Amino acid sequence: MYTILDNINSPADIRNLNMDQLRTLCAELRDYIVRCCAENPGHLGSSLGAVELIVGLHYVYNTPDDKIVFDVGHQAYAHKILTGRRELFRKNRTKDGISGFPRMAESPYDSFGVGHSSTSISAALGLAEAARLKGLDSKVVALIGDGAMSGGLAFEGLNNAGSSKSNLLIILNDNNQSIDSNIGAIHNYLLKITTGDAYNKLKTHIWNKIGDRRLRRFLQKITIDTKSNLVRNTGGAVFEALGFRYFGIVDGNDIVQVVNTLQRLRKLSGPRILHVRTVKGCGYTPALADPATWHAPGKFDPDTGERILSERKAARYQDVFGEVLTEIARKDSRVVGITPAMGSGCGMNILANAMPERFYDVGIEEEHAVTFAAGLAAGGMRPFCNLYSSFSQRAYDQIIHDVALQKLPVVLCFDRAGLVGEDGATHHGCFDLAAYRAIPDAVVAVPSDETMLKDMMYSGLASATGPYIIRYPRGCGEGTDWRNAEPEILTAGKGVKVCDGEKIAVLALGPEVYRAKEAAAAFKEKYGYSPAVYDMRFLKPIDTSILEEVAAGYGYILTAEEGCIKGGLFGAVTEYMAEKGYKPYINGCGIPDRFIGQDRQGAQRSECGLDAAGILTALEKMIAK
């Protein structure tokens, strides 16, 4: 089907191609990525934009001896295809297929595993230092997008790398025009000069001849000031100030420019920044027309670009959050919304469109988002800060130090809690229940459906004694009439019995309540009696009156939570029973003590015993004891 791509089984196969053949290869890669992503949805737009960069890197660098470190991994599809995984890419992000992100266990070409943002520079610096300490001549390249460059960790890495003199090249892939630039004749001339052999040999010779340190510093200052004035409009001055040599801007979708520039830069040493400009969705018209949607568009017809939308059984939790937050903000002028670059993903774009002056997108900066929210709360506002559960881990210290310790009224909404599907282990929100349960004065609320999410958001606004954490899953709710439901202010730490029963009590959190009720009905049909089911609603404070009730009235207790089994609801219940000296038989359904790979959400829940069938099996095992 493809004249060039079908013959590429490793990067070594592309290094004898001429420029025309490389252009053909780039076009074929784009077509293959589009057709594979149409069937198995993934991160399309960024990968289409980075094709020439990745082809150029593997053409110029001797991978896998030379190392390429990706950031997040949304750009990496061409890399996977070129490194012996062309056929496997047809099953990208499926249970038996390859990961959607670079993964060290998957290929020697994946030099560092990624999934979260802004890690590439620090990891690449570590690899470069390891090579230096071992006396290896391997080159290390970090490829980071302009969005990820806004993250605090990226700047920490830049600060360290610039002063380290490590042999590290950082490629800033600017695909959103977020860094001002001036592409012109002077700029291109400077790029050609500063990457050339003659210039760099002369510079090194002069530098070595100057023995006086004060004169070196003086001349270096003149050089930096001169270059800063010339490259300031390209954003290069900040990198020069941090100790990097700055090169760019290069057209990252021109394979000739990419290869020629990389060939020159590979000969240089020390910390360097190459600034490239690419177009997200390059080569595919629908993706160019709507980059935000086509970042991860779901299934679509590759020939027409028509998206194949599945029918939703109910509203998505993210949309419920966005609508309710906007409703609350209209009623209370103190309410503001904060998101770290996830406005559409978390539903806060609804508030942004309705009340832009009350919406803050702070970029990929979870730590800053939480402390910023704390400052707003200290100033009399009532912030709702929405983080993906997996990314909230980055802000753990801020939640403790800046919010809880000062008892500031910040509502923290953790989207994508629990199992998230095809993005896999890097994106599951498994650890939030165990982690945040440990924080004094925190409320940890877990809605079982859309209406309960609405109630808990209103309850969070009414609370004024520290962080009010609400965690809810990715995907659709249970189909409740949440829009017409009058919001109820819930008492923190109070659950409710939702199903009467005998002998066994099931204590559930979140949507596991519905699966537990389904399992209880199946159990009754099979055994003639039903377990009782409780919606605990809150992990912290936990409803001790329910715990006393089940300890006195039931011989068996089963907990059910879509979080890690260690430290969450199961831990809270067993700790309470042990402390009181109660001795019911206790077991738990939760995410086991291992990382769960990519698959469909439903299949992951089945794997972890968190669907109705899994809970029924756990109930049957209990009575068999």
Catalytic annotation, residues: 280, 366, 394
The tokens for 389 are: 């559960």
Return d(Cα 204, Cα 190) in angstroms, integer: 18
C-alpha pair distances (Å), 357 with each of 230, 244, 293, 329, 350: 36, 37, 24, 11, 13
Decide: 526 and 547 in contact? Cβ < 8 Å. no
CB within 8 A of 124, min separation 6: which ones?
A: 67, 69, 112, 140, 141, 142, 157, 168, 170
In 271-333, which ranges are E strands? 272-277
3-state secondary structure of 510: coil
**Residue the block writes with tokens 């050089």:** 223
Instruction: Specify the long-range contacts of residues 599-606, CB closer than 8 Å, at least 24 apart.
Output: 599/94, 599/95, 599/421, 599/422, 600/95, 600/421, 600/422, 601/419, 601/420, 601/421, 601/474, 601/475, 603/95, 604/419, 604/421, 605/419, 605/562
Side chain identity, residue 237: A
Residue of 438, 444, 374, 434 whose CA lies nearest to 409 = 374
∠ CA 100-103-107, nearest 5°, is 110
Side chain identity, residue 492: A
3-state secondary structure of 247: strand
The tokens for 297 are: 């568009």
Return d(Cα 61, Cα 53) in angstroms, integer: 12
SS3 for 169-217 is: EEEEEECCCCCCCCCCHHHHHHHHHHCCHHHHHHHHHHHHHCCCHHHHH
The tokens for 585 are: 């038989």
Return d(Cα 120, Cα 143) in angstroms, integer: 7
CB within 8 A of 390, min separation 6: which ones?
A: 116, 416, 420, 426, 427, 428, 429
**Residue the block writes with tokens 């130090």:** 401
What is the DSSP code string of 416-431? Answer: EEB--STTGGGT-B-S
3-state secondary structure of 319: helix
Side chain identity, residue 216: R
The sign of the CA dihedral 128, 130, 133, 135 is negative
**Helix ranges (DSSP H) in 428-559:** 432-437, 450-462, 512-527, 544-553
**Helix ranges (DSSP H) in 337-424:** 343-346, 349-354, 366-378, 389-392, 396-398
